[in-house]
Structure 1
Amino acid sequence: MTVMTERTSSQLSVDMFERIAEFAEREDETVRFEFIDGRIGLRKVTNGNHSTIIMWLIRQCMQARPELDLDPTQGLKVEGYRNGRALPDGALAPVGYFAGQGDWADPDGVLMTIEITSYDADTHDRDRMEKPRGYAEAGVPVYLLIDRENASVVVHSKPDPEDGYRDIHTVKIGDMVTLPDPVGITLDTDRLKPYMD
């Protein structure tokens, strides 16, 4: 579950956000913070289905592309998106790419980001609108959205820093979906049917 604060007329600096997030996460390990579109987001621990989907995706990526890691904890700098900091549910990159980059890595070497919708009031704006725009502006080639509410998989590709992703392809959970290059992995989403709630 994610809760976003309201935007204010005086924007918080990225440095101040990083200090707040580092302190708060030390005090309570059950939450993570992100900074998108001038707002601080608080992400609480997800339910078991959310985590099961992430683990399934990690296994699929490792089997298909062992030279890549799908990291479910790495934050990304999405500088073009109002000097933001995004915490995707997964970031796919070459093995070792995130080493030494700290909590907020450069997205240049990231091949794909993944988000899995939560059942909260902010999921539409955050996962379907703000994050795809931020990842496209940062040049992430593929954005994969597992939309549990709509029982669908949405593949965004061909990022344009001005217009967002130019190619958006949606399939129903249960269908096969091929993630475009540079990812090049085919997923049988039938395995995800039990985890849509």
Structure 2
Amino acid sequence: MSEAPSDYNAGVDPERALKYAIQHIKDERAQIIEGVIETVPPTWDHEASIDVIREQIRARARELDCVIGSGNLDLPGSPNWYIPDLAVVPAAAAKGAGALLPDQTLLVVEVTSDSNADTDRVVKRKRYAEYGAPLYLLVDRQERSVTLYSEPGQLGYTRADGPHPYGTSVQLPEPFGIALDTSRL
């Protein structure tokens, strides 16, 4: 067996290579969480919760000239590439973008699943704050609660509104300025 040439890995950026590969997995949506590749197979119950949020913010997002979706979010300099359950981003930033940065969003929403609840509660909350996502809404299906995190910084979000039990109205601050009805989650 021969050895690889000494310059075999020269110029290869492992982070970039991994993030390139994740975008080219056929027939699967996948994300990278702290260097671990995870597929994103949502259930209908999970999707129903996301749809409840989407319906309520749709009109305001249009007024703000924003797009609502679940496009790729890159966290440069880290082994993370997220596909949020829902994000609101300015239409101009989304146009032609393969991936955006969390600080280019206005709102990121994650809905927990049995398989990844702690990832959404702890890891993603910390990383979204570090990368400047201004608002992070956590819909915790296991706890049947909703928490809105704001004021991001390097040590995490400095403000948490919640957890509020399902059925509570949760106020999204400006630029949204709307109250979310969580009774249908």
Taking structure 2 as the reference length, the TM-score comes to 0.83
Work out whether residues 143 and 157 of structure 1, in 8 Å CA contact, stay in contact via their aligned partners in 2: yes
Equivalence map 1:64-83=2 (5 Å): 64-66=60-62, 67=64, 68-72=66-70, 74-79=71-76, 82-83=78-79
Give the one of 120, 123, 132 matched to 2:117: 123
Root mean square deviation, CA, Å: 1.8
Give the one of 106, 109, 113 matched to 2:108: 113
Higher strand share: 1
Q: Per chain length, whose mean CA-contact separation is higher, i.e. which structure has more relative contact order (CA < 8 Å, sep 6+)?
A: 1
Work out whether residues 60 and 176 of structure 2, in 8 Å CA contact, stay in contact via their aligned partners in 1: no
SS of match in other structure, 2:38: strand
Alignment match, 2:87: 91
Shift of 1:94: 1.9
SS of match in other structure, 1:164: coil
Work out whether residues 147 and 161 of structure 2, in 8 Å CA contact, stay in contact via their aligned partners in 1: yes
Shift of 1:106: 2.6
1:58 and 2:58 correspond: no
Structure 1 stretches lacking a partner, 5+ long: 1-11, 193-197
Taking structure 1 as the reference length, the TM-score comes to 0.79
Rate the CA distance shift 1:146–1:186 in 2: closer, same or farther, 3 A.
same
Structure possessing the higher radius of gyration over alpha carbons: 2
Deviations 1:144-165 (A, max 9, x none): 011000000011111012x100
Rate the CA distance shift 1:58–1:14 in 2: closer, same or farther, 3 A.
same
Alignment match, 1:19: 20
Shift of 1:83: 4.6
1:172 and 2:165 correspond: yes
